[in-house]
């Protein structure tokens, strides 16, 4: 395993305004300003407007322009609504309320099924929300849909790069380690950058479930500054749990700051551990994540 602190920590994808929408808006503003300036500065054109026939013609033009402005406003309002809902979903995911985040992203995906630039990030965030809840079959179905999308590699490389690792994480948390390692091999074949969460976490889970606790601790403690940048993220908290569990299984003392942070976990922060019997039992015995679904 390797850790690179330069890589982004968050798995969540935020939708940015498309270049096409920005260009369309700029062209609309330029056209309106140019037309208004031309009419005001050219006296012959302005005088021609007073002719009844031209007045009707220009009235139609201005009505059409007004309708276009209204349409652009509606599109902008819808875009802002999507951004607002996405931000709310990411906030819920960050504070451990993954079920509410999933509901928001499912709604965004359903309402924008024909708009791929919205649908794909919403589907990704929904899959992450399902994974955090321990609903691995549903998460894997979402990741499979994402892998079939034709837009990922060029338009949304962050999703395309992270897909095999996230599939590996689902399999690893379920104990299907051979399938998890096969998914990581696909990540290697893609020759992409190793994002801290999408690469280190599945490898740590696989090694931990194979009993290689010393190796997990050695790697995770070799770059403490890099890990500090991700421990507050939604899957960073999962890595923190795996780190503490590996310390105890390796016969080491769990660092006080790590133990204290795990003691503050919310119910939704450890639902992903329900199909990992040893870790689930360790969490219950320690009194962490009480109230989780069995």
- Tens-level pLDDT at each residue, the chain (294 residues): 443 333 333 344 444 555 555 666 666 676 666 666 655 555 555 555 555 555 666 667 677 777 777 777 777 677 777 888 888 888 888 878 889 999 999 999 988 888 888 888 899 999 999 999 999 999 999 999 988 887 666 667 777 778 888 899 999 999 999 999 999 888 777 655 555 556 788 889 999 999 999 988 888 877 666 666 555 677 788 888 898 899 889 888 888 877 777 777 766 678 888 899 999 888 888 766 543 433
Q: What distance in Å separates the CA atoms of residue 91 and residue 129, rounded to the nearest whole number?
A: 12
Number of residues in the chain: 294
User: How far, rounded to the nearest angstrom, does the alpha carbon of residue 47 sit from its chain's CA centroid?
Assistant: 57
Q: What is the pLDDT of residue 176?
A: 93
Q: What is the pLDDT of residue 288?
A: 64
List CB contacts of 259: < 8 A, sequence separation 6 or more.
Answer: 244
Structure pTM? 0.73
Q: What distance in Å separates the CA atoms of residue 293 and residue 271, rounded to the nearest whole number?
A: 7
List CB contacts of 292: < 8 A, sequence separation 6 or more.
Answer: 267, 270, 271, 273, 274, 283
Q: What is the DSSP code (8-state) at residue 7?
A: S
SS3 state of residue 49: coil
């Amino acid at each position: 395993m390797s850790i690179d602190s330069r890589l982004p920590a968050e798995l969540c994808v935020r939708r940015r305004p498309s270049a096409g929408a920005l260009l369309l808006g700029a062209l609309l503003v330029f056209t309106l300003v140019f037309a208004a300036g031309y009419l005001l500065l050219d006296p012959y054109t302005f005088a021609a407007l007073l002719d009844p026939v031209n007045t009707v013609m220009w009235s139609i033009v201005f009505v059409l322009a007004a309708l276009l402005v209204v349409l652009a406003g509606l599109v902008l309002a819808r875009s802002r609504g999507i951004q607002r809902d996405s931000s709310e979903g990411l906030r819920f995911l960050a504070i451990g309320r993954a079920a509410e985040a999933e509901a928001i992203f499912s709604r965004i995906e359903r309402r924008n099924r024909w708009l791929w630039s919205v649908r794909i990030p919403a589907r990704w965030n929904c899959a992450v929300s399902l994974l955090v809840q321990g609903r691995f079959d549903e998460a894997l179905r979402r990741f499979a849909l994402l892998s079939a999308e034709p837009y990922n590699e060029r338009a949304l490389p962050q999703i395309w790069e992270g897909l095999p690792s996230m599939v590996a994480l689902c399999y690893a948390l379920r104990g299907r380690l051979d399938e998890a390692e096969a998914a990581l091999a696909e990540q290697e074949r893609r020759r992409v950058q190793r994002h801290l969460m999408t690469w280190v976490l599945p490898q740590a889970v696989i090694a931990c479930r194979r009993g290689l606790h010393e190796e997990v601790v050695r790697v995770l403690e070799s770059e403490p500054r890099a890990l500090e940048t991700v421990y507050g993220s939604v899957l960073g908290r999962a890595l923190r749990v795996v780190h503490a569990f590996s310390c105890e299984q390796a016969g080491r003392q769990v660092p006080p700051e790590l133990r204290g942070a795990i003691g503050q976990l919310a119910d939704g922060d450890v639902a992903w551990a329900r199909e990992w019997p040893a870790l689930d039992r360790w969490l219950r015995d320690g009194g962490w994540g009480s109230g989780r679904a069995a």
